[in-house]
Amino acid sequence: SGAALRDRSGHLWFGSSHGAIRIDPNTPDTQENPPPTYITRMRVFDHDVPVQSGLQLSYKQNLLEFDFVAIYLSAPHAVEYHYRLEGMDEEWRTTTQRSIPYGSVPPGKYRFAVTARTRGGDWNPEPATLEFTILPPFWGTWWFRLVAVGCTMLVVGLVIRRRVLNARKELGHRQEFSRRLIESQEAERKRQLFEQKLASEEEYEIAVNQLNIVKADIIIIQAQIAKTEIRAPFDGTIGLRHVSEGSYISPTTRITTLQDNQPVKIDFTIPEKYAAAVKKGDRIGFTVEGVARKFEGTVYAVEARIDAATRTMHLRALSPNSDGVLIPGAFANVEVVFKEKETLAIPAFALIPELKGQRVFLYKNGKAESQSVEIGTRTDERVEVTQGLAPGDTLITSALLQLRPGMTVRPVE
């Protein structure tokens, strides 16, 4: 038991407690059952979190990525995956990648499910699943909403009371204005009588003093009435009106919105590992939904600290908007070029997954040699190799199932 042997015909022999087992590695794959699927990793803003159901995340931790793998050693590159984030995706999606990102996931309960099949085969009816919850902010909880409703009712009551007081005050202003106007007319009549020698000088001086007082009161009343006129604090574009003429308003009433969109500000975040690579004055590119062209901006403000919850840094940029195409509040996809570098990239199907990482086969001196590698950025077709390969290495990309370290191979042009 535990012994292994390869004979001259290439057959593999294994010893067991029940006798010897012979395997022909050249036998075509006849697996009919769908390969089992496993969720291997979950990341939040490029940080690993435990892969366990019942995980709870903050509402700020909404940039997710799931890694998974199907055990099918015969042809790992021929595996297709079916995945869905229940609570966000309405339908299943198909991919050949083993890593799927999700951005801006709103608060709620979710269940990520993934299954696999070989090309042309049936989907595994038992998908791998991971349940988790993104907690709402405190202002989205039921108790906060209850408090908000109570406060709203209180504010409504205060607003109604204030409207009544304001109406009475406005009526008093108008009555006072009318009274003062009558007094000024009376003072003017006294002046005319004095000029015609029909009133005494004492009566005339009393009337003049009363007239000066009335003029001062009229100025005060006119200033108070002028406060009912609303003036914009800056130039901009006015949005929809939320009140009608004649409505009662309070300092908290939203009348309309005023936007200064020339230029526009772009708020975005970057992972903490890139925090030192961006500074004021750096250029960025970004796109928005519904507009075909790409826009540019300049970073003008950088947050002084890393967000402890999301492990990201907040930045702000300015972009000119002379034609008014950019609308405040729109979502932008920001592109920041940190640095350019040369790197090695290999076909994705040349990688052989292992429990401890990834490996490839190299062609050296007419033989196959196994080599462990570390990978970086991955696309649909190619994978960046950060460690384990060097320029000039010859990579074996076919017949990977039959290869063994030290086996003689012949390259094909």
Output the pLDDT for position 131.
94
Question: What are the E-state strand segments in 71-185?
Answer: 79-86, 93-95, 99-102, 108-118, 128-134
Q: Is the pLDDT of residue 142 over 90?
A: no
DSSP 8-state symbol, 328: T
Cβ atoms 54, 131 nearer than 8 A: yes
Domains 37-136 and 261-335 share a fold: no
Give the tokens for residue 13: 């022999």
Cα separation, 222 vs 227, whole angstroms: 9
> Can you say whether residue 80 is alpha, beta or left, with left for phi > 0 and alpha for psi between -120 and 50 degrees?
beta
Cα separation, 403 vs 44, whole angstroms: 37
Cα separation, 316 vs 143, whole angstroms: 34
- Distances in whole angstroms, Cα of residue 62 to Cα of each of 6, 43, 55, 136: 52, 10, 13, 11
Domain residue extents for the chain: 37-136, 142-226, 261-335, 341-413
Burial class (CB within 10 angstroms; exposed 0-12, middle 13-18, buried 19+) of 101: exposed
Q: Is the pLDDT of residue 42 over 90?
A: yes
Q: Is the pLDDT of residue 303 over 70?
A: yes
The class that CATH gives domain 37-136 is: mainly beta
Domain 341-413 architecture: Beta Barrel (2.40)
Higher pLDDT, 199 or 153: 153
Q: What is the dihedral of CA 11, 12, 13, 15, to 10 degrees?
A: -170
Output the pLDDT for position 395.
85
Output the pLDDT for position 317.
95
Name the phi and psi angles at 65, rounded to 5: -150, 135
Question: Count of CB atoms within 10 A of residue 327's CB?
Answer: 14
Q: Name the 3-class secondary structure at 169.
A: helix
Output the pLDDT for position 253.
87
Peptide bond into 263 cis (omega under 30): yes
pLDDT band at 229 (very low <50, low <70, confident <90, very high): confident
Angle of CA points 43, 45, 46, to nearest 5°: 60
pLDDT digits (tens, 9 = 90+) for 73-99: 777 778 899 999 999 999 999 999 999
Higher pLDDT, 144 or 315: 315
Edge-first strand order for the sheet with 367-378 is 344-347, 382-387, 367-378, 357-364, 352-354
Helix 201-226 to helix 142-195 angle (10° resolution) is: 160
Superfamily of domain 261-335: Efflux pump adaptor protein, beta barrel domain (2.40.30.170)
User: Cβ neighbours of residue 69 under 8 Å, at least 6 residues apart?
Assistant: 37, 38, 40, 98, 353
Poorest-confidence range of 117-131, 174-188, 269-283, 359-373? 174-188
H/E segment holding residue 287: strand 283-288
Output the pLDDT for position 175.
59
pLDDT band at 57 (very low <50, low <70, confident <90, very high): very high
Higher pLDDT, 246 or 177: 246
Q: What is the pLDDT of the chain when averaged over all its residues? A: 82
Question: Count of CB atoms within 10 A of residue 75's CB?
Answer: 14
Cα separation, 399 vs 371, whole angstroms: 16
Burial class (CB within 10 angstroms; exposed 0-12, middle 13-18, buried 19+) of 81: buried
Q: Name the 3-class secondary structure at 35.
A: coil
Cα separation, 267 vs 284, whole angstroms: 12
Cα separation, 67 vs 100, whole angstroms: 7
Cβ atoms 345, 384 nearer than 8 A: yes
Output the pLDDT for position 25.
66
Mean pLDDT over 222-240 rounds to: 76
Cα separation, 182 vs 207, whole angstroms: 12
Q: Is the pLDDT of residue 28 over 60?
A: no
Residue matched to tokens 């000066």: 212
